[in-house]
Amino acid sequence: MTRAVLSIGSNLGDRLALLQSALDALRPWLVAVSPVYETAPWGDVEQDDFLNAILIADDPSAGAEAWLARAHEIEDAAGRVREMRWGPRTLDVDVIAVGDVVSDDPRLTLPHPRAGERAFVLAPWYALDADATLSGTSIKDHLAALPPADIDGVRLRADLVLA
């Protein structure tokens, strides 16, 4: 069994519908879906806030490269354009972790190299699976190591639900 943790985010267009499109595309393998959070953008590019969520999926026949290919297909279907690093996007699907796979391949580094620094990944993941670990450290401990302002910038949107 290959369990993948995927982070989804959108800050252009109908953000919730775009997140839903990612969930729908992954539905055959979907195990769990986090609540939706709204977060300020990462980096120095002026842009609108993101909606973010975490998905956990399982597919015994899929390795890390298959999860990456699926992520890119889902982004392409949503009209994702890669013009600017950390720029606005219709849909971002990041492969955060695939089972116990560790890879330093620049095309797909696993676990995701910055996931432990990003409250918009950690907070939804913790809400979904409080016992989860990333690189041998609990998600709770990763969250505790972040500056309070980072955590405060991740706002639960209980009024928005992915189904």
- Selecting among 15, 70, 89, 118, the annotated active-site residue is 89
d(CA 73, CA 51) in angstroms, rounded, equals 20
152: annotated active-site residue: no
Alpha-carbon Rg for the chain, nearest whole angstrom, is 15
- Is the bond leading into 88 cis (omega within 30 degrees of zero)? no
56 SS3 class: strand
Token reading at 153 = 């910038």
- Selecting among 70, 80, 118, 150, the annotated active-site residue is 80
- Selecting among 15, 92, 118, 150, the annotated active-site residue is 92
Q: Are 92 and 78 in contact (CB under 8 A)?
A: no
- Selecting among 15, 94, 118, 150, the annotated active-site residue is 94
Contacts for 14 with CB less than 8 Å, ≥ 6 apart: none
92: annotated active-site residue: yes
49: annotated active-site residue: no
Please identify every residue annotated as catalytic. 80, 89, 92, 94
